[in-house]
Chain A
Amino acid sequence: MALSKVSSIVERINGAEALLKSLKKERVEVIFGIPGGATIPIYDVLYDFEGIRHILARHEQCAAHMADGYARASGKVGVCIATSGPGATNLVTGIATAYMDSSPLVAITGQVPTNMIGKDAFQETDIVGITASITKHSLQPRSPKEVPAAVKEAFYVASTWRPGPVLIDMPKDVQVNVEDVHFPGKVSLRGYKPDKLKINLNSVKEASTLLNKAEKPFILAGGGVIISNASKELLELSEHLNAPVATTLMGKGCFPENHPLSLGVIGMHGTYPANLLVSRSDVILAVGMRFSDRTVGNFEAFAPDSKIIHLDISEAEINKNIKVEVSVIADAKRGLKEICKQIKALNKPKQRKDWKELVSKFKEKGIFNFGKSKGKIYPPQLLKILRTILPKKAIAVTEVGQNQAWAALYFKIYHPRTFITSGGLGTMGFGFPAALGAKVAKPEVPVVDIAGDGSFLMTSQDLATSVTEEIPVIVIILDNRALGMVAQWQRLFYNRRYSHTYLNKVPDFVQYAKSFGAEGIQVESYEDFKQAIREGLSNEVTTVIDVPIPKEENVFPMVPPGKELEKLIMKVDET
């Protein structure tokens, strides 16, 4: 079908068909969902609709995480769909996860017919109200002819400026009724004009002058750099300034971690050089990041002697958590480009020798450096081995907990969009479905989920989806039979009172995986592990690799919550 031709024509169709045709016009190739009473009309059209693949999840939360993983890996909008009531509420965790990490998601929910809304009808929930504070925008078309504009608006808002989730709530009668439907070519919103955002060149100049004069410049890069595809500009500026780059957890991958100026991740589970050098700098350029508490530690004591320049697309982020010297409101790519241009016009690059030496001295002390193992297999060492086997463009997804911190600290990332993690919400169970979504977006690259046993059990029923839909990924369970990160806090800050953090030795993850028709392997040594990964890479089904590790293993370095980054713990003396 020639898309451009159709757009000017008025068609007499029902709202369900209008929805799917509109999705297709937004170049949607795949949607993730589970049908139900309030979405049957949509699924009926989907039955023989060409050009959109539907992936049947086993839980709506997973459908949302899959769409989110798809979005993060590809940069395109991810789409998920659920029925009204429980289907819709099951999406909530997924929507909140996407919201916190500025991921472009369009969530479609069925709703009871318009004349039943508000009357506590069967499977009615006020999903627009429930999700109001975790969506960027929401729409509820009231007739079929409103559907195409709603979809257009949803995609426009979800994917532009600071991306985020948008909800389209579709009452059942709107899906069923037939009307003359017109497909608009574009949207215009009076209150939302991201393309009209003008960069203030005076503030660019101020920022450039400050950076140029700096003796010890430091760059703090966040997820915004990845979203706006600004890695090239970041690299250029950092090399020109000789400024080391630390990333937030969300920014991991925006700067190649094998680069001499890379310091890895900063924050609670940040590296030694990143956390210590930041307060030794004199000027910090923070770009596409929001100074979250996990990044900054103690707000009052963050880099007290440095002047801070904040480049972000959202003015609401400026001075929200940290007071800054100069702010530039722009998307990261545009802002970095302008700053780079200005600085280059100022004079020849400074060498900043002393600073460079200090940076390498701190880096030598340990960036991907690690302590000692308690058992046969030590996660940092395991991740180092994993890195040597996987291709550089492989996608690593994490769950939440120690597994996530280990991956952030010890698994190097070289390319943007190849590290996917729930940074803002910290959603256990995000990793596995997000890995499936990423694999759908990038079938040609291997996708691994670096998991904890607790997290994996939260969404692992979607092994069924992975096998049925032929989406093979590799799950590496760092299996401590514990809610490891919580146990670590209890060990360090609560006198080893392990209140409800030790899990029983169930299930047998190998048998569990096999029962779905996936592959399950348990490894006892690094050699076993290498073998298992190689098998996983060639398997046509998902491979679950169970890696038993000691319960009492700690992730270090770690900054105790609310403390200055300088106060990071490298190890504990244990008896």
Chain B
Amino acid sequence: MTNGKNIIEVVTEHKPGVLFKVSNLLRRRNFNIETLTVGVIDRKTARIIITLNDDGEVREQVIKQLNNLVEVINIRELNPQNTVKRELALIKIKVEDRISRSDVIHCIEVFRGQVVDVSRKSLIAQITGTPDKINAFIELVKPYGVKEIARTGITALERDKKEGGTS
């Protein structure tokens, strides 16, 4: 499970092979990637959000090496305190009787999630939020029986410098 300690934002050319080059460099330095999400920003640009769990100097150095890739336009480490982190999870939960079904649905509502599929013996919940929130939800519904989990991994944006804001 991820705690998203180190969040690296890589803005790259949107071209085939770029993700390969980025991850290849991380592989070479033996990093265990916790999450990695890629999304297109515009026709020519993509944003990769990588979370690692590594405090060492190697991380700082690998960021500089990533920056040397011709396709990398911009790279920086996001300050976790000042970053909005979101993840989406789909969780298939066993609901074998009416009582557990209504309990689980209640939990989902508390977490402001959605029931996106219901079948006779299970349902699929969709939860978005910080990784911690998703972890908490999973813990909560575990007693009912969690059949499968799919998580997107973290995507993140740093806040502009201003007062207020929530995480």
Interface residues of A (CB under 8 A from B): 128-129, 132-133, 136-138, 157, 189-192, 314-316, 318-320
Say whether B70 contacts A157, CB under 8 Å.
yes
Cβ contacts under 8 Å, B67 to chain A: 315-316
Say whether B20 contacts A191, CB under 8 Å.
no
Cβ contacts under 8 Å, B64 to chain A: 314-316, 318
Question: Top 3 A-B pairs ranked by shortest CB distance?
Answer: A316-B64, A191-B73, A137-B70
A157 to B68, CA, bound (A): 11
Cβ contacts under 8 Å, A190 to chain B: 13, 73
Partner of A132 from the list B20, B61, B70 (CB cut-off 8 Å) is B20
A320 to B59, CA, bound (A): 11
A189 to B21, CA, bound (A): 17
Offer 21 A-B interface pairs, CB within 8 angstroms, sorted by A: A129-B20, A133-B24, A133-B25, A137-B70, A138-B17, A157-B70, A189-B70, A190-B73, A191-B12, A191-B13, A191-B69, A191-B70, A191-B71, A191-B72, A191-B74, A192-B70, A315-B64, A315-B67, A316-B61, A316-B67, A319-B61
Interface residues of B (CB under 8 A from A): 12-13, 17, 20-21, 24-25, 28, 57, 61, 64-65, 67-74
Cβ contacts under 8 Å, A138 to chain B: 17
| Cβ-closest chain A residue relative to B27 | A133
Q: Nearest-CB distance from B65 to chain A (Å)?
A: 5
| Cβ-closest chain B residue relative to A323 | B57
Cβ contacts under 8 Å, B17 to chain A: 128, 138
A109 to B105, CA, bound (A): 59
Q: Nearest-CB distance from A409 to chain B (Å)?
A: 32
Say whether A314 contacts B68, CB under 8 Å.
yes
Cβ contacts under 8 Å, B61 to chain A: 316, 319-320
Cβ contacts under 8 Å, B71 to chain A: 191
Say whether A316 contacts B69, CB under 8 Å.
no
Q: Nearest-CB distance from B70 to chain A (Å)?
A: 5
Cβ contacts under 8 Å, A132 to chain B: 20-21, 24
A320 to B28, CA, bound (A): 15
Q: Nearest-CB distance from B136 to chain A (Å)?
A: 39
Cβ contacts under 8 Å, B24 to chain A: 132-133
A192 to B75, CA, bound (A): 12
Most chain A CB inside 10 Å of its own CB: which residue of B13, B68, B70: B70
A315 to B68, CA, bound (A): 9
